Copies of this chain bind each other. A is one copy, B any other.
């Protein structure tokens, strides 16, 4: 590369979504087996008459996505697999296989990689997924983890981002912001431990936050509960970059607006206490924190009663016509414009 090339554009000017939009613009799908390409939690492929194949992939880099100072390798392996399973569940599908590629720098010993793999294998065991391939190489730049997950879903049954309609209810599983607060806590203890030998981090009363950050689960149970209740979501995503960002994705893809209500957003009390301790705005953390791996989905208004009966699911708002925009209604009745302030991995 010549550093003197004219008119170069810094990647941070575009951000991840801007860059992906640019790179994947006018990407033709030429083969009959390619149903849906870039732009959802997973690609949809047509290889069989009775089901569709789903494919998703995640790249995790040391120093960008994880810090081995406080992330045990076994947990890292588990989480690396889970984030991929979550993308398949977010399409209403079931993860079946993963491939695992690792780039390993010299400071890792075989036993370290055993630990990482033990976590991946454990996740596979819990979710009934087979590890079927991968690539292993050395790395100059710390640990590199690239996982691809293949799953399936009933033919035509994949739940995409683009199906939300005016008056649909917006639902979310579990609670939000805890993983982000867990990260803040781990970072705080890392700073406190600097230079101290035998430092014992203090997670008392905040175990849930640490667990949400280090050992998230994919919401297979919610997908199953929806299926059992006979509810077909009109759109669905997993919350990896933060509720605001994901809601905006759904509204953009579906050409709608939305209203979510501050007092409906599910937040655990440990998250609230931690936000208080850190002097952070609690709702901002819940809206923009990311890494929750909960499911965000929309259902027709007619499914209201049924969806409210599913444990762990909360209706937080509704879809509107596009000209009404995307807003959160605060407790005092004001409307705040939703922005994608989620974690930007390209900054």
Interface residues of A (CB under 8 A from B): 1, 5, 7-11, 13-14, 16, 19-20, 22-24, 27-31, 33-34, 36-38, 42-43, 45, 47-49, 51, 53, 55-59, 61-65, 68, 73, 96-97, 99, 101-104, 106-114, 117, 121, 128-142, 144, 146, 148, 150, 152, 345-347
Contacts and interface: CB of A to CB of B under 8 A. Distances in A.
Given A19-B136, A33-B97, 9 more contacts: A7-B111, A22-B114, A34-B97, A48-B48, A56-B99, A61-B139, A61-B141, A104-B346, A150-B150
Contacts of A140: 61-64, 141-142
Contact of A141 (B29, B109, B113, B142): B142
Given A33-B97, A111-B9, A144-B59, A38 B139 contact: no
Contacts of A48: 47-49
A138 B347 contact: yes
A2 B37 CA distance: 43
A102 B10 CA distance: 16
Nearest to A95: B31
A135 B31 contact: no
